[in-house]
Amino acid sequence: MIKSLFPIMISLLIGWTLHVLYAQYSNKTNSKLQVKNNDYSNYEEGCTPETIKKTVVKEAIKYVPQTKIIYKEKKVEDKNVTDDLFLLALGRKEFYDAMDYYEEADEEKHKEYKTALVGYFQAEQSENLIKTIEQMQYFIGIEPESIEIVFQLAQLFEKHGLYRQALNIIVEFSYVASYSQISLINTKIQSISLDYISKLSKSQNLKTLINFLTNRINKGVLVDFYSFELAKAYLKLKKYSDSTTLLEELKEHDIYKERAIELLAFIQEKLEEQAEYPIQIPLIKHGSHFLVQAYADNTSILLMIDTGASITSIDQNIINHLKVLKENALFHTAGGDIYQTIFQAESFTVGSLTLKNFNISGSTFPSKDFNGLLGMNFLGKFKFKIDQKESILFLGQKY
C-alpha cells in the first residue's frame, strides 16, 4: 500500500514546488509600484491626478521601494561562458533579471554596471517614463548609496517640473551619504530650489513660494539658505516685520551677513518712506508716462499724470453731467490761450483719497488710452513722488 502511494506523493511534491516557483516569478515580474489613487498632497500645485499618474509612481518622493520581491532565476553555471550576463540582460531590456546578476557581482563589477545603468536609464526615460522611474527606484532600493542614480532620478523629476519630489529624493539620500558627498548634495539642493523659487516668483505665486520655503525650513535642511530666500519673499509682499525677524538672525551668519545687513537697511528705508508717504496708489505704465484710475461722482475715468497741468482736465463728453461752475474760462497754455468749461464734482476719488467739490476743466482728448490729465490742483495738495520702477504714486501730508 505504501509503495503504491509513494509515486503519488512525489508527483504532488514536484507539482507544489513548480507552483511556488511560478508564483514567485509572477510576483517578481509584476512587482512594479502602482500610482496611489487619492493621495496627491505632496505634488506640485496645478498638477491634476491624471498628470501625476502619467509621470510618477506610488510614493514618488520616497525613492526606496517599501517591498522588494526578487526572483532568483536559475543562472548559467557553465564556467566556459565569457559573456557578461548582466550586460546581456540589460541589453535585452530584461531589467529585473539584470538586477539578479548585479546582486551576485562583486564591488568592482558594480562600478562598471552603474555606469551602464546611467546610460540605460537615460535612453529608456524617453520611451517609457513611468517604467524608468519604477526601475530607478527599484535599483536605489538595492543600492541606496548610489549617488549617480539618485541624482539622475532627481534630475528626471526636475525636468518634468516636479521640484519637490526631486528635492525629497536628494534629502533622503543625504542621510546615507558620506561626509565627502555633503557639499555636492547641498549644492544640488540649492540649485533645484533656486530654479523652483525663480519659477514661482516669475509667476507671482508667492503664497506657494512661502509655503514651500517654510516647509523646507521645518524639515531642518539648509535652514539658513531657505530662511534667506523666505526673507526675500516676505520683502516682495512688503511684510517687513516678518522679513526683519529672519534677517536679524542671518546677520550673525558668515555667509549671509552682508546681504542680510543690506536688506535690513533697505527695509528701514521703506519704513521711513511709509511714514513720510502713508498713501500709495498703484499706477499703470503707459510708454514713458503713468496712468491712474479715478472717479468723478462715481464715473470711472483713466487719467495721465501731468505735473505741468495746473488743473485736472477730462474729456467733456464724459463729465458733461457734472455741475457747471463757469463757461468759457480762459486758460494760458504753451499752445496759446484757450477757453474751456469748468465743472465741479461733488466727490473726486483717486486710490483711497476722496476730495470734495473738486474742479475739473472740460476738454477734448483724441486718445483712446486715457480720458484726461490729473493736474496740480490734485497733486499740489500733497507731498508726492512717483516710484517709476514699481509704478506707485506716493502721497504724504504737505507741511
Which range has the worst mean pLDDT, 10-19, 199-208, 298-307?
10-19
- Model confidence pLDDT, tens digit, residues 58-68: 333 343 333 33
In the chain, % of residues over pLDDT 90 = 61
Q: Are 34 and 65 in contact (CB under 8 A)?
A: no
Q: What's the rounded mean pLDDT across residues 6-26?
A: 39
Chain centroid, CA 353 distance in Å? 37
pLDDT for 307 beyond 70: yes
Domains 204-276 and 279-396 belong to one CATH topology:
no
Through-space distance between the first and last CA atoms of the chain, rounded to whole angstroms? 121
Res. 17 pLDDT band, cuts 50 70 90? very low
Q: Which fold has domain 204-276?
A: 1.25.40
Least confident among 69-73, 281-285, 312-316, 333-337 = 69-73
pLDDT of residue 308: 86
Cα dihedral 376→377→378→383 (10° resolution) = 60
HSE at residue 326, side-chain half, CA atoms within 13 A, is 10
Mention every residue, 6+ apart, whose C-beta is less than 8 A from residue 330. Answer: 337, 338, 339
Q: Say whether pLDDT at 347 is over 80.
A: yes
The predicted pLDDT at position 150 comes to: 94
The mean per-residue pLDDT over the stretch 95-102 comes to 94
pLDDT of residue 6: 35
Confidence of residue 304 (pLDDT cuts 50, 70, 90): very high
* Mean pLDDT to the nearest integer, 76-96: 75
Tell me how crowded residue 371 is: count the other CB atoms within 10 A of its CB: 22
What is the rounded average pLDDT of the residues 7-23? 39
- Taking residues 1-30, report their average pLDDT: 40
Which 3 state secondary structure label does DSSP give 305? strand
Domain with residues 49-199, CATH architecture: Alpha Horseshoe (1.25)
Average pLDDT, the chain: 81
Single out the residue of 301, 304, 309, 298 nearest to residue 284, CA to CA. Answer: 304
* 367 band by pLDDT with thresholds 50, 70 and 90: confident
Q: What is the pLDDT of residue 332?
A: 65
- 65 torsion bin: left (phi>0), alpha (psi -120 to 50), beta (else): beta
Beta carbons of 163 and 200 less than 8 angstroms apart: no
94 DSSP 8-state letter: -
Nearest to 341 by CA among 306, 310, 314, 365: 314
Higher pLDDT: 73 or 99? It is 99
Sequence spans of domains, the chain: 49-199, 204-276, 279-396
**Cell output for 176:** 546615507
Given this model, what pLDDT does residue 333 score?
Answer: 65
Of the candidates 274, 269, 280, 197, which has an alpha carbon nearest to the alpha carbon of residue 233?
197
The architecture (CATH level 2) of 279-396 comes to: Beta Barrel (2.40)
- Rounded CA-CA distance 145/360 in Å is 75
Please give the average per-residue pLDDT across 305-316, as a whole number.
Answer: 90
Provide the pLDDT confidence category of residue 152 given band limits of 50, 70 and 90: very high
Whether pLDDT at 224 is above 70:
yes
